[in-house]
Amino acid sequence: MPNPGQVGQREREILTAIIETYISTGEPVGSRTLSRVNKDGLSPATIRNVMADLVDAGFLDQPHTSAGRVPTAQAYRYYVDQISGKAMLSPEDQSLISSTLQDTVDLQQFLERTSHVLSLVSSGVGVAIGKTGPQNALEHVHFSRQSANKVLAVVVTKSGVVHDRMMRVEEDLSQTDLDTAANYINANFRGWTLDRVKADIARRIEQERSEYDRLMQSLKELYKSGALGAAEPPANIFVEGVSNLIGKEEDRERLRDLLKTLEEKERVAGLLSAYLDTRQEAVRVVIGLEEAVPEMRNFVLIGAPARVGGEMRGSLAVIGPTRMDYQHTITAVSYIAQLFDKLLNENA
């Protein structure tokens, strides 16, 4: 009986043929179908015996009363191991990807186009996520007293984005108090990411005393009111091609839950964060995503980190059903990850 570490050549060829036939047709694969395409001229009876061994080993399953077999998650994992590094992207797809991503002017545009082209070449859901980083670091803040207990907070980031927020504070702060607080933040935190600024202000509020009491009280009021809360932009998350899943998922209720999940972009970002290691270099294939998102049982994530000059700037992936063209999608994700570094360095 074969196992993942001991699959003979005959079993491997028949298992590969079953997987690729099922990916192509979506129909359970029978021994007669395989015998017609088997290059060694094996009889249906011989193929049935091999298929029985593959069922016992956990590589194949028999849906309902069908005479055919379908690959299990274990079979897909074995198949991916066999094909990794062997496929090449077609010239047509290379041209489509390159023309779509060429002339991008910044990271956000590149991510948006990446999610689009991934959905096109994979017929799955294309996902591209940009990491919040130094481009969202603090340049300066300004606080303006509008009326009693009302303050306008203006936060400018290094990338030139301006966020303003009208706040109600519990203690009525004078304009002098507000200017002192703004000067303190600008002098101590310029260039820091906004999450780090907020964390450190919270720490200093608890620790600083004596001559800073009045300043710290002002900062506490502004901090509690969310002076920097609205300024932290979410990670750039682009998801495209969700409609590609309609028609591939027969369970209507599960499809509805799945589509709802994919619409919640923060959950998609969490999914990539759960499975993609920022230290990895190669494309990763994860078959079965139910540990992170129960609605994604029988779905696959094929993803890679996106780097520019060695710095982690995001991640990109395709999410689709287990019955997907693995060779094609793996090579597309790998190709775009390499272009990510090349094109954004050229346009830097």
- What pTM, to 2 d.p., does this model score? 0.69
Q: How far apart are CA 193 and CA 137, in angstroms?
A: 4
Q: Does domain 9-76 have CATH number 3.40.50.620?
A: no
Show the CA angle centred on residue 303, arms to residues 258 and 325, nearest 5°: 75
Q: How far apart are CA 238 and CA 111, in angstroms?
A: 7
3-class SS of residue 275:
helix
Q: How far apart are CA 180 and CA 237, in angstroms?
A: 37
pLDDT at 291 (0 to 100): 79
pLDDT at 203 (0 to 100): 76
Summarised one tens digit per residue, pLDDT across range 192-211 is: 877 778 778 877 776 665 54
Fold of 135-224: Enolase-like; domain 1 (3.30.390)
Count CB-CB contacts under 10 A for residue 183: 14
Ranges of each domain in the chain: 9-76, 91-131+235-346, 135-224
Distance (Å) of CA 307 to CA 85, 174, 285: 20, 46, 18
Does the fold of domain 135-224 match that of domain 9-76? no
CA nearest neighbour of 314 among 103, 128, 101: 128
Q: Does domain 91-131+235-346 have CATH number 1.25.40.10?
A: no
pLDDT at 300 (0 to 100): 93
Summarised one tens digit per residue, pLDDT across range 229-247 is: 644 445 688 999 988 888 6
Q: How far apart are CA 170 and CA 123, in angstroms?
A: 53
Main-chain dihedrals φ then ψ at residue 333, nearest 5 degrees:
-65, -45
pLDDT at 53 (0 to 100): 93
């009326």: which residue's tokens?
A: 147
Show the CA angle centred on residue 6, arms to residues 5 and 10, nearest 5°: 130
Average pLDDT along the chain, 348 residues, taken 10 residues at a time: 64 92 90 81 88 93 80 94 80 90 80 92 90 69 90 82 83 89 90 78 68 70 68 69 77 75 81 75 86 82 84 86 91 88 64
